[in-house]
Homo-oligomer: A and B are copies of this chain.
Amino acid sequence: MMKMIIAVVQNKDSNHLRIALAKAHFGATQLSTTGSFLQSKNSTFMIVVKDEQVDDVLAVIKKHAKTREQFMTPSAYIDNAANSMPVNVQVGGATVFVLPVDSMFHF
């Protein structure tokens, strides 16, 4: 049996995730998508694998796209010194759906 894994990730994580999936020999089809709440541009990956590979794919996604904190220095164009302290922001995050697949063909 096979599964389709649909992963919605932030654009900033999509290159890293794409390369990590390819290194692990998981083919993916990538779509440009938009999140409905903040209309943020994101990237959606469609990956089809055998049931027993699902956990491996999930591990790659988790490793490369999970929510984490990052210190960011406000951009240089803000020339108020008080604002240029590094701040802790949340970045990343993946929403992942696993769907059943009946069959797959290569022509």
Contacts and interface: CB of A to CB of B under 8 A. Distances in A.
Interface residues of A, number: 46
Nearest to A95: B106
Contact of A27 (B30, B36, B39, B103): B36
Contacts of A96: 104-107
Copies in the complex: 3
Does more than half of chain A's interface fall in helix, strand or loop, or is it mixed?
strand
Contacts of A31: 31-34, 44
Nearest to A61: B107
Contact of A98 (B27, B67, B102, B106): B102
Interface of A: 2-4, 6, 8, 18, 21-22, 27-37, 39, 42, 44-46, 48, 58, 61-62, 65-67, 93-107
Closest 3 CB pairs of A and B: A28-B36, A66-B107, A96-B105
